[in-house]
Amino acid sequence: MNSHLIDQKYFNSKDFTTNLLPKAEYTGCVFTNCTFESSDVSNVNFTECDFVDCNFSNVNVMNTTFNDVAFIGCKILGVLFQSCNPFLLSFKFTNCILNLSGFYQVKINHTQFLNCTMHQVDFTEAEAKKTRFKDCDLYMSTFDRTNIEQADFTSAINFNINPSKNQIKNASFSNENISGLLESFNIKIKQ
């Protein structure tokens, strides 16, 4: 655990690619327009922090704690969230690009993905119960042995979820996107 506490601090337009973010516990901090691309935030604790319009692509998040963290308008390409600290893991993504990121075997129950582009995201063996995918584009994302019980896909597009390989009890879909459940069976739906 980090002994240095940084509380209620605002970081605006900082570049953490060359001058790395100091290892610490960040509580109630706001990062706006910051660049973290390909940097290392391993073993850093973020609690009740907001990342707004940040580039968080290819960041090393090994043993990083995300507890009640919001990502808003962020570019988050290729981040492997399965390497995060799973204890108290909770975050929300709004208007983000999460392409090529991974949630392999991660418990992300109750997570909110709102208006996100999520191409080729790996949800293999994740537990995503009651997760909301509102207005999300899930093109070529992988759901394999994923628990998405009671998840909300009613406004999601471009997903391919095989009901025989995933737990989908009480998940919500719409008439417009129900074909995403049948694609793996090579069934054609005509309107």
Would you list the DSSP string of 133-161?
EET-B-TT-B-SS-B-TT-B-TT-BS---
Q: Does 19 score more than 50 pLDDT? A: yes
Q: Where do the CATH 2.160.20.80 domains begin and end in the chain?
A: 1-17+24-98, 102-186
- Could you report the per-residue pLDDT of 123-143, keeping only the tens digit for each? 999 999 999 999 999 999 999
Q: Give residue 177's pLDDT band: very low, low, confident or very high (50, 70, 90).
A: confident
- Is the separation of the CB atoms in 23 and 1 below 8 Å? no
Return the pLDDT at 168. Answer: 95
Q: Does 52 score more than 60 pLDDT? A: yes
Q: For domain 1-17+24-98, give the CATH superfamily.
A: E3 ubiquitin-protein ligase SopA (2.160.20.80)
Q: Does 1 score more than 60 pLDDT? A: no
Maximum C-alpha span of the chain: 61
Q: What distance in Å separates the CA atoms of residue 167 and residue 148, rounded to the nearest whole number?
A: 6
pTM summary value: 0.93
Domain 102-186: give its CATH code: 2.160.20.80
Q: Give residue 2's pLDDT band: very low, low, confident or very high (50, 70, 90).
A: very low
